[in-house]
């Protein structure tokens, strides 16, 4: 039963609860016109203590497409927070006005703290470098739609695997499904942190390998999750020059890839996926961002208990 729950960490929901959300999301994808009034009379509060236009628009579009309405702020200077109000008071106030809250905050753990003072469902819309559970839900739904299953997959994660929170959450989330193999593709400086490997991959005895070059492994992949590698993350110029092209996906690298490869990216991209790939049927990243809205629609409907 998801009604009334908060979503703070992707692990807050069981695999069965996630399936419930994904089932509804797939229904919405098939027939969005059946859902245009399900949140009639309901109000979403979007509390963005730091700006994130893309995530806010996704939440707002989701609520509006369900027939609900939206209030909120997109940066704290325009709210009572600027006057020095503490977080519990802000949350209590907004919870009194709205039926559900989506909250983004630069400090890690702020949504967990805020949820303790909210008697309406509170969704973490990103807390610093910590968690971004609706991005994880987006990634999982896209994988489910693209592959028709969540098991028996080889997933390549490419780019900055050290600082990328979406990658860490995805590894955690996918580790709950059977027979998933991870190929971790990154420069030495940006390898997956030891604690992720120890806590998740080693503890669950999951199959994984770490490599430096995408072209060495691309033919094995069912899913390729690209992230951005920033020059300033490298320790020296020589390594950057040696490796920079390994983390840019283009047609040449795709030559040996499977025909049913699914290419994902949390967006925004800079240059890590060449624009020549955009028209390739294996490019799923724009569909992925659309599924992000659909999965938020399903999530809102479930937490409000209207479906």
Q: Which residues bind another protein (CB under 8 A)?
A: 86-87, 105-110, 112-113, 127-130, 195
Q: Quick one: 171 or 226, whose CB is closer to another protein?
A: 171
Q: Quick one: 178 or 195, whose CB is closer to another protein?
A: 195
Distance in Å, CB of 62 to another protein, minimum: 26
Q: Largest alpha-carbon pair distance within the chain?
A: 59
Distance CA 249, CA 227 (A): 10
Q: Quick one: 87 or 183, whose CB is closer to another protein?
A: 87
Secondary structure letter of residue 4 according to DSSP: T
Distance in Å, CB of 108 to another protein, minimum: 4
Q: Are strands 208-211 and 122-127 parallel, antiparallel or unpaired?
A: unpaired
Q: Quick one: 4 or 106, whose CB is closer to another protein?
A: 106
Distance in Å, CB of 198 to another protein, minimum: 11
Contact partners, residue 135, CB within 8 Å, separation at least 6:
126, 166, 169, 266, 292
- Do residues 7 and 124 make contact, with C-beta atoms less than 8 angstroms apart? yes
> Hunting for tokens 């490019």 — which residue is that?
283
Q: How many CA atoms lie within 13 A of 154 on its CB side?
A: 14
Q: Are strands 208-211 and 69-73 parallel, antiparallel or unpaired?
A: unpaired
The C-alpha torsion from 116 through 122 and 123 to 128, rounded to 10°, is -40
Distance in Å, CB of 295 to another protein, minimum: 24
Q: Quick one: 14 or 86, whose CB is closer to another protein?
A: 86
If phi over 0 gives left and psi between -120 and 50 gives alpha, with beta otherwise, what is residue 191? Answer: beta
Q: Quick one: 86 or 188, whose CB is closer to another protein?
A: 86
Distance in Å, CB of 186 to another protein, minimum: 22
Distance in Å, CB of 110 to another protein, minimum: 4
């Amino acid at each position: 039963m998801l009604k009334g729950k908060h979503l703070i960490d992707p692990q807050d929901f069981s695999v069965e609860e996630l399936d419930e959300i994904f089932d509804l999301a797939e229904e919405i994808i098939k027939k969005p016109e059946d859902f245009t009034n399900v949140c009639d009379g309901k109000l979403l509060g979007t509390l963005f203590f730091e700006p994130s236009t893309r995530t806010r628009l996704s939440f707002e579009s989701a609520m509006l497409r369900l027939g609900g309405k939206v209030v909120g702020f997109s940066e704290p200077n325009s709210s009572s927070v600027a006057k020095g109000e503490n977080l519990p008071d802000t949350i209590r106030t907004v919870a009194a006005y709205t039926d559900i809250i989506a909250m983004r905050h630069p400090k890690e753990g702020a949504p967990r703290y805020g949820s303790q003072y909210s008697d309406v469902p509170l969704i973490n819309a990103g807390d610093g470098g910590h968690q971004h559970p609706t991005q994880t839900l987006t990634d999982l739904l896209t994988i489910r739609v693209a592959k028709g299953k969540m098991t028996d997959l080889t997933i390549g994660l490419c780019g900055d695997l050290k600082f990328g929170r979406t990658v860490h959450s995805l590894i955690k989330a996918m580790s709950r499904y059977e027979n998933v193999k991870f190929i971790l593709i990154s420069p030495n400086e940006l390898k997956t942190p030891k604690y992720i490997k120890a806590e998740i991959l080693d503890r669950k005895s999951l199959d994984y390998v770490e490599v430096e070059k995408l072209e060495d492994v691309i033919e094995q992949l069912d899913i390729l999750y690209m992230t951005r590698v920033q020059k300033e993350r490298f320790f020296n110029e020589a390594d950057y020059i040696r490796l920079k092209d390994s983390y840019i996906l283009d047609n040449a690298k795709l030559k040996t890839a499977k025909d049913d490869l699914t290419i994902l990216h949390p967006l925004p991209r800079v240059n890590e996926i060449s624009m020549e790939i955009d028209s390739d049927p294996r490019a799923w990243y724009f569909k992925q961002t659309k599924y992000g809205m659909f999965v938020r629609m399903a999530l809102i409907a479930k937490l409000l208990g209207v479906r």
